[in-house]
Structures are given as structure tokens and as C-alpha cells.
Amino acid sequence: MKRFAPCMMFLMTMALTGTAGSGQDRPERQVRLELNLADGSRLVGTPEIESLPVQTSYAKMDIPLQQILAIQMDDNHETAAFDLKNGDKLKGALTLGPIKLETVFGKVSIGIEHIKDLRVMMGGGALPAGEGTLAFGGVNWTPWRTAFEVQGDKLVSLPMARPGFSYGHGGNGRGATLVSNLGSAVWKDYSMEFEFCMRGVDPAFNPHGLPLDHRAGYVMFHVADAKESWNQRGWSKYTLSLSGDGSWGLSCDYNSFCNVASGWGNPQSEASRSLAEGKGLKFDPQAGNKFRIDVCGTRIQLWVDGKQLADVRDEKMGACIGDQTLDHGGIGFQTPWECMIWIRNFSVSSL
């Protein structure tokens, strides 16, 4: 085994250990280590160490696991690149043997030569549930525009307008919408995982004659502000946009709305940024797809069905534009028009 491999193993072990050491005082903030392996599989476990010794070109140092965001192994398995939570980066050599993790399957030992990269996660940190009317996945949700209900293990949009809302193209908005913890300053660095399904259009609720296989959806995070009516200024958030043809985009906008008294028209916003885009996703209209979104500092990472979709930094995240700042805020789901959706196995924790 090469020198880097042992080091990497040790790092991973330390990452998991860091949690154990601090867990006596704050067990809800247990450190976990996620390993992405060369064969495409992933392991998550808890180590028995709290820091990682790294030999850089200028010094040997011990880096607490809680300060590490991610580690990328070089192809030679002799050096590793570190991303720290304060935004710093460094490279160094690791001297570790196979890393041992306590996982849900029991104890495992993984050789460094099998590891592509790893991520340190501060698991279990509780976030405020919020004040919504629907409790699901540890969060209280507010349903907008259409009705929603919990059906078994799913939170499902219903093919009907929310009572009391002026639904429609000539009214104050279309599309099933869920929001939680809008503008919360506590919701800042967090990781959320969920299954999301764009089911298509229900023929019982199709006032504008959309194709029944129309599928699209939005996943929103760092939602600093939002309004149920699209005629009210205020939508300020990051959005992962998903289309049934497999295309996707990551963007943010500030104070977007339709600048007319009622109905769709004259869309405006204070500013917007496109951060990433692509094609080729395969959306399952029956079983849904698995998503994970991590936002930590200015870094945003996206995964779909276990494969990383994007890893970007938005250095303007803390900028104030139109009296809005996108370095904090809650979460949400939305569809354009009448596409029905559900979410399942939702969880969120602070990073």
C-alpha cells in the first residue's frame, strides 16, 4: 500500500472519530465520514479519531476533522487535496493504514487504493422545524397554491387548488409549492437528502390542457424570502431546476415576481445568476430519484442518484442585492404549472 493510502485511511478514520470525541457533550453533532469508492459505491461510517496528521511542504500539522469539508485523492494515492470549511485549501501526504468505519452494516476496513474522495459530515445537528401546518421529515411545511397531504411515507401534492387562493394563469399563481423556514438565519449551512418525483399532470386538474406527461420541478434552498402570489415582490433563493427532458440548471434570483396586479406577465427581478447547467438526467415518474444538496459557506454541492451533479462556489452569496442576502434561509419545492409531485425520505441536518 502506498504512503498516501495509509494516510487517507487515517484521515477518514479521524473524521469519523472527531464526532465520537465531541459526542459526549453534543451527541447530536456526531462526526461522520462519507467515502466515495472507485467502483462507484459509497460508505458512511463513524471513526475513532478526532484529528488528522498531514505532512505538507512546509509543516506537519494535525487538522481537526470538524474543520475539514472534503478530501480528494490524487491519482497516485500519495497526496491528498483538502477543502477546509473556512475556505482554505491545502495539499499534503497522509500516513495511514486501511481505514476502519463503524457503519450500519457493522465494522468495515477499506484500503486507500479503493477511495476516490471523502467528505466529513457533522451529522444530526438539529434545525428548527418551522411553523408550517404539515409535519413531515422533521420539518413543518406550508403548502401553497395547491393542496398537499401526507400519504403513508410520502408528502404528496393534490390535484386541486388550495382553498381561498386565486389559482390560475389569470389569478395569483400556478404550480404546487411547499416552503419551510423562509428567511431563517439559523438555516445557513445544511445538508438535505430526499426522494423527489415529478409525476406528471393529473387529468382531474388540467385547466390549461397540458400534456399529461409534462414533468418539471424546482428544489429551492437558502430561501431568504418567498410569496405565495407571483404578483408579490420577494422570491429570493437558490433553485435547482429540473425538466422532464433530463436538462437541469442551478441558479439564484432576488425579488422575482410578475409586476402586474393579477395574472402572469411582466416578470422582473433585482438580479439573477446562473451557476451550473447540464443535460442527461433520467427522471423516474413512478419511483422518483434520490437527491442530496449540501450548502456550506459559499460552496454548493448537488448529487442525483448517488452521482455528483455539481460542485460550485458562489462568492456573491453574502452580497446584499435588493435588500436580500442569500447566505441563509429555508427550503422549498415547486412545480411550474400543474405538474404533480411527491417527496419521500426527507431529512436535513446542519453542517
Task: Quick: pLDDT tens for 57-81.
Answer: 888 888 888 888 788 888 877 788 9
> Which of 95, 122, 149 is the last residue in one of the domains?
122
91 close to 81: Cβ distance less than 8 angstroms: yes
Cα gap 7→283, rounded to integer Å: 39
Residue 129 lies inside a defined structural domain of this protein: no
Distance of CA 152 to the CA centre of its chain: 24
Residue 41 lies inside a defined structural domain of this protein: yes
Extract the C-alpha cell encoding 163: 382553498
Residue 128 lies inside a defined structural domain of this protein: no
Please check whether residues 22 and 149 belong to one and the same domain: no
Distances (CA, A) of 53 to 7, 15, 111, 243, 305: 8, 11, 18, 45, 33
> Does the pLDDT value for residue 98 go beyond 60?
yes
> Does the pLDDT value for residue 8 go beyond 50?
no
Residue 267 lies inside a defined structural domain of this protein: yes
Please check whether residues 143 and 62 belong to one and the same domain: no
Q: With the C-alpha atoms ordered 58, 64, 69, 71, is the resulting torsion angle positive or negative?
A: positive
Q: Which CATH number characterizes residue 214's domain? A: 2.60.120.560
Please check whether residues 93 and 139 belong to one and the same domain: no
Please check whether residues 142 and 269 belong to one and the same domain: yes
- Domain of residue 42 covers 4-122
Residue 331 lies inside a defined structural domain of this protein: yes
Cα gap 52→216, rounded to integer Å: 44
Please check whether residues 140 and 271 belong to one and the same domain: yes
Range ranked top by mean pLDDT from 35-49, 70-84, 126-140, 275-289:
275-289
Indicate whether this model's pTM tops 0.75: no
Q: Please provide residue 4's backbone torsions phi and psi, each rounded to the nearest 5 degrees.
A: -65, -35
Please check whether residues 165 and 197 belong to one and the same domain: yes
User: What pLDDT is attached to residue 29?
Assistant: 53
DSSP type of residue 125: B
Please check whether residues 26 and 103 belong to one and the same domain: yes
**AA letter at 150:** V
24-28, 54-58, 118-122, 199-203, range with the lowest pLDDT: 24-28
Distances (CA, A) of 96 to 7, 101, 102, 228, 260: 3, 14, 17, 53, 63
Q: Give the chain's domain count.
A: 2
39 close to 45: Cβ distance less than 8 angstroms: no
Number of residues written out for the chain: 351
> Which of 94, 122, 150 is the last residue in one of the domains?
122
Please check whether residues 144 and 97 belong to one and the same domain: no
Please check whether residues 51 and 138 belong to one and the same domain: no
Please check whether residues 87 and 146 belong to one and the same domain: no
- State the average pLDDT over residues 165-179: 97
Report the chain's C-alpha Rg in angstroms. 22
Extract the C-alpha cell encoding 245: 427532458
Residue 281 lies inside a defined structural domain of this protein: yes
**AA letter at 61:** M
Range ranked top by mean pLDDT from 40-49, 107-116, 192-201:
192-201
Residue 176 lies inside a defined structural domain of this protein: yes
Extract the C-alpha cell encoding 123: 451529522
Please check whether residues 219 and 306 belong to one and the same domain: yes
Residue 127 lies inside a defined structural domain of this protein: no
> Is residue 338 packed enough to be buried (19+ CB in 10 Å), middle (13-18) or exposed (0-12)?
buried
Q: Please provide residue 19's backbone torsions phi and psi, each rounded to the nearest 5 degrees.
A: -70, -45
pLDDT band at 269, cuts 50/70/90?
very high
Cα gap 30→44, rounded to integer Å: 12
Please check whether residues 111 and 146 belong to one and the same domain: no
pLDDT band at 277, cuts 50/70/90?
very high
> Which of 73, 97, 122 is the last residue in one of the domains?
122
